[in-house]
Amino acid sequence: MTIARVALPVAADSAFDYWLPAGLAIERGALVRVRLGRRALVGVVVDIVATTNVSPEKLQPVTAVVREMAALPADLLDLARFVSDYYQEPLGLVLAQMLPPFGAEPAALARPRAAASAQRLTSEGRSALPQELARAPRARALFEQWCNAPGALLTGDDIALLPSHLKRVLRRWADAGWIEEAAEPRQPSSGVPAGGRMLNDDQRKAVAAIEAARDGFAPFLLDGVTGSGKTDVYLAAAAACIARRRQALLLVPEINLTPQFAQRIADMLPGRCTVTLHSRLAAGVRRRCWRQAADGAADLVLGTRLAVFTPMPRLGLVVVDEEHDASFKQQDGVHYHGRDVAVWRARQRGVPIVLGSATPSLETLVNAERGHYRELSLPQRAVAPARLPEIEFFGSRDGAATDGIGGKLLAAIETRIERGEQSLVFINRRGFAPSLLCSSCGWQAGCTRCSARLVVHRDAGVLRCHHCGHAERLPRACPECGNVDLQPLGRGTQRLERALAQRFPAARIARIDRDSTRRVGAFATMRDRVEAGEIDVLVGTQMLAKGHDFPRLTLVGVLGADNALYSADFRATERLAALLFQVAGRAGRAALSGEVMVETDFPTHPLFRALSAHDYRAFARALQAERRVACLPPYAYLALLAAEAPKRDAVDAFLAAVHMTGRDIAGDECSAVEVFPPVPAVLARRAGMERGQVLAQSADRAALQRFLPRWRSAIAARPGRRVRWSLDVDPLGFA
């Protein structure tokens, strides 16, 4: 009898055995349909064997083979195994994570291609469609894809592959004038050299070094100040890789924020087949892109962290842009770090990998110091006249503060408005004010389900919890003492927007945060307006910090920077530094020089001194020294076991046992591992659940890796299912 060992998308440590009916030919990596109890599931065949321990009467058959998906190649199965072992995640869940959504529309790819012409989104469409699509998620996904496509153009092939209900939608959009026919993008014959701008000396050297290392695993840190043209290096290296008939994989932190990227690729790699992969693509499109990568038709795969799992038979180069960015780490479901998995994959496939950043993570810097990664640097800004901005500091009690905006900053904004230049005011808090306070008895509005304050959202007239989504009406009087004088405390983006509008009534002010961009396409529209010079002052959260070139932006104000300096999270200052250096890089990127004004009461903090000197490395060195003393990453390895339950007692008892078990295992044979006593989570209560955690730490990664599977299986074997828990290996922070 032939037995298929199938990894299923369930939280189980091992694969499940099924017998293979005669006539069903399969191979390792094939996708099969099976039953588990009453559920019909799709799993991946990880092995084919002749015997099983399952008794014959219990052994079930493989129901069918999923033919619309090719079998996963062996290197992807190995990659899944690595992720499963390293991150302590069930193999079946890891494999499920790797695959695009499938099965719902199996016929989509078999259908012959109808002759459809390319369609471009019109500007009317761009402004009218967002309202139309509020309740149509699938059409909305299509619209977003359109907004982010190069030239707002979907090709005839893209359109031919859409399911029929979306094609009907398109006919309606065409009738309304929201889309129009357009010429197909040029498809020059192969062998055309990459276009785009000329590379400077540093860029050329970097590309040559990457290309010279093409025959084996070679990790590079590409360290380039903001605006130094890292993207040109990536794309030139990709072009060289593709010219050798190999595939390039380019990972970026957030694809919806970087449509310029797709445009640059189209410009620099004309005629090459580029596919995009991220979770917000329509399922059919994502399947098609995945398959084009898997069968080798795609030359370049551009995607977010999940694209690291794309099968690519001719892989020749991996690039991770903004490698320090926290969004490469998946925080829920299967915990994995896309950048670290990318490095493993490059080693597995024996190809170069480029990690690019203006503010490299400490992990990557230490790897470079130790000689594991080779460093390439781009010290100059690519556009010749652009200079690094002046950095200035002002105190939180600076002069005539208007709703929390210092007088100096207001004066600087005024000058920009007069000159017709743009300003950006940045604060990492959305809403109107982070809290509501009774001036008489000291009551503050808190969330009943979380250990957190409720945020004032004045426009909507509500108090909202940013952790669980709970919302309630703004009270007219204090629920404790009846006092009607309730004060919004602190400042958020909405409050700043209002204050600026009052101070500069003629200025065109826009706010960009999660609330203002919730409507589909709103972000793209706002970005277009900024680029077109229709905005004078932008107020927003960190959404603004990533990858945008606004040539008329000459002033950046940063408020509330001190919040992160004394945070309980050991990575908070590193993140703040990355953010400040990025934001500073936004000012004065073209011909106009820029200025950055940071509100802080600690201007001599090493971070701010380094910022003034435009010397990220100086700050990184200070931070490295701190981490080394404190035995924190990258000088130690961590695993965080987090647990939650409705009752505090249950969490505490569970974590006490988890701690004891861990200490026993560490004491027996993993003495290099230290297991710390349980502590409440930073947010001790969220959405009605009490939360806590236990940290395991070791200076020896291998020792921690030996310890973790034993610890996890001991915890999993405990009776009692009242407590939800998860293990996060290499956590980015303490939740």
The order of strands in the sheet holding 16-19 is 16-19, 3-7, 39-49, 31-36, 64-65
Distance CA 676, CA 5 (A): 38
Minimum distance from CB of 559 to Zn ion (Å)?
A: 25
Say if CB 667 and CB 675 are below 8 A apart. Answer: no
450 binds Zn ion (CB under 5 A): yes
Site for Zn ion in 458-477 (CB under 5 A): 465, 467-468, 470
DSSP letters, 366-392, are HHHHTTSSEEEEE-S-SSTT--PPEEE
Minimum separation from the CB atom of position 465 to Zn ion (A):
3
According to CB under 5 A, which one of 94, 239, 438, 543 is a site residue for Zn ion?
438
Kindly tell me which residue out of 40, 411, 481, 625 binds Zn ion, with binding defined by CB under 5 A: 481
Total Cβ atoms within 10 A of residue 485: 10
The structure tokens listed for 731 are 């956590």
The residue whose two tokens read 């055995």 is 17
**Total length of the chain:** 735
**Judged by CB under 5 A, which stretch of 10-18, 46-54, 430-438, 653-661 contacts Zn ion?**
430-438
Verify binding: residue 437, Zn ion, rule CB under 5 A. no
The least distance separating Zn ion from the CB of residue 436, rounded to whole angstroms, comes to 11
Strand, helix or coil for residue 96: helix
Beta carbons of 278 and 307 less than 8 angstroms apart: yes
**Does residue 478 touch Zn ion according to CB under 5 A?**
yes
Nearer to Zn ion (CB atom), residue 295 or residue 485: 485
Asked if 464 contacts 457 with a C-beta cutoff of 8 angstroms, the reply is: yes
Q: Which is nearer to Zn ion, 155 or 440 (CB)?
A: 440
Contact pick of 449, 529, 648, 706 for Zn ion (by CB under 5 A):
449
- Using the minimum distance from each CB to Zn ion, give the nearer residue, 104 or 441: 441
Tokens of 436: 């509501």
Tally Cβ neighbours within 10 Å of residue 137: 11
The stretch near Zn ion (CB under 5 A) out of 172-180, 343-351, 407-415, 440-448 is 440-448
Residue whose CB is less far from Zn ion, 514 or 628 = 514
**Residue of 443, 570, 602, 676 that binds Zn ion (CB under 5 A):** 443
Is 342 among the residues that bind Zn ion (CB under 5 A)? Answer: no
Note whether 207 binds Zn ion by CB under 5 A: no
- Look up tokens 């069903």; give the residue: 24
Distance of CA 711 to the CA centre of its chain: 29
Q: Name the minimum Å distance from CB 682 to Zn ion.
A: 14
Asked if 447 touches Zn ion (CB under 5 A), the answer is yes
Piece of the chain touching Zn ion by CB under 5 A; list 12-20, 377-385, 424-432, 448-456: 448-456
Which of 78, 181, 480, 669 binds Zn ion (CB under 5 A)? It is 480
* CB closer to Zn ion out of 162 and 445: 445
Binding flag, residue 486, Zn ion (CB under 5 A) = no
- The 622-651 contact track toward Zn ion, x by CB under 5 A, reads ------------------------------
**Inter-residue contact 338 to 330 (CB < 8 Å):** yes
d(CA 211, CA 367): 21
What minimum distance in Å lies between the beta carbon of 515 and Zn ion? 17
Tokens 């003492």: give the residue: 481
Quick check: 441 binds Zn ion (CB under 5 A)? yes
| Residue 460 C-beta: closest distance to Zn ion, Å | 16
- Is 713 an interacting residue with respect to Zn ion (CB under 5 A)? no
H or E element at residue 712: helix 701-716
CA angle, 539 as apex, 535 and 541 as ends, to 5°? 135
Measured in degrees and rounded to the nearest 5, phi and psi for residue 3 equal -110, 130
DSSP code for 516: T
Q: From the CB of 486, what's the least distance to Zn ion, in Å?
A: 8
Q: Is 241 helix (H, G, I), strand (E, B) or coil?
A: helix
Distance in Å, CB of 437 to Zn ion, minimum: 9
Indicate which single residue of 123, 131, 190, 483 sits in contact with Zn ion (rule: CB under 5 A). Answer: 483
Phi and psi, residue 249, nearest 5°: -115, 125
Q: Which is nearer to Zn ion, 32 or 456 (CB)?
A: 456
Q: Which tokens in the block code for residue 556?
A: 């950046």
Q: Using CB under 5 A as the criterion, which residues of the chain lie in contact with Zn ion when the complex forms?
A: 438, 440-441, 443, 447, 449-450, 465, 467-468, 470, 478, 480-481, 483
